[in-house]
Amino acid sequence: MPLNPDIAHYLREQARMPQPPTAPTLAQLRQATDTGLRALHGPAEPVARTGDFTLRARDGAPLRLRVYWPSVSDAPQPALVFAHGGGWCLGSMELYDNPCRALAVATEAVVISVDYRLAPEHRFPVPLQDFCDALSWTFEQAERLGLDRSRIAVAGDSAGANLAAAACLAARHGDGWGAGGAPSIAHQLLLYPALDAAMDSPSFDLFGDGYALTRATMAYCYEAYLADPAQGRLEQVSPSRAESLAGLPPATVISCEYDPLRDEAEAYAARLQEDGVLATAVRLPGMIHGCIHMLGLAPAARQLLDMAGIGVRRALR
């Protein structure tokens, strides 16, 4: 279908903005991303309560989490351990406060938002290790948090979905999880995931410029994340390069029609199915990358949460 008209108007307005004479610094890019996306969010959705926690990552560094309980319940609740997007070098727990509230409401699951450390200050594998440490902590603290250990899933959008998918591969291998062992992940919710550092799928040619996320931006993000481009061939960086996807958790994979990452997301869902994993692929018509931030811009962006809600509720209930 055609590009959503609200988003099309937004892209035209962005294209008219004057370009700075020099490339922005990383600090300026982070600030601009935060300011620009917040302006698209719309009102915050109410949840029953939230709580901030700090744990120690495997190297002793403090790692912040924010937990969103969508409702009050005496029974243990399902949960999503969530990694935010931003190309491993942008974004934060604070920027994703509105999206995580909306995700908790839509999925009826407790959302644990992970404020993993960002590249290039902390390159691969630190963001992935932080996410895995937060996942282990969630299982350890399940009773305290009111969670059902048998219904703890992982989730993320864009680069965060990359971390969620990579964590599932790491859990399958079972190495590096400490005394508690690898967690038993119930589901993976991957929202327009980045899954291959090669960036060579046809949708990059179709939508790699002019649709918010560009090929140049993705190349910048991978360069920030990786100390060596050769790391892009690792399955922990490019999950689609894993030799087999058999034995991974069931998945809901949501792609956007006008997104350079569309084809790699849909190919990953197809591979999961071929390798015997229960996987549902959903393409959002008329949408672009990052639409979890666009509820205040385009009412049709709500379909992302609708589809995520259906997938997670079906999987965890």
Q: Residue 161 has which token pair?
A: 């979905």
Sequence-ordered strand ranges (E) for 76-229: 77-83, 110-115, 147-157, 188-191
Catalytic residue among 41, 122, 187, 289: 289
CB-based contacts of 211, cutoff 8 Å, min separation 6: 3, 11, 258, 259, 260, 288, 289
Helix axes 302-316, 97-107, angle to 10 degrees: 50
Catalytic residue among 115, 157, 259, 263: 259
Q: Is 293 a catalytic residue?
A: no
* DSSP structure class, residue 309: H
Distance between CA atoms of residues 224 and 116, nearest Å: 15
Q: Is 41 a catalytic residue?
A: no
Element (H, E) at 130: helix 126-140
- N residues, the chain: 317
Catalytic residue among 158, 203, 238, 240: 158
Distance between CA atoms of residues 259 and 214, nearest Å: 9
Q: Is 157 a catalytic residue?
A: no
Distance between CA atoms of residues 183 and 170, nearest Å: 10
| Active site members | 158, 259, 289
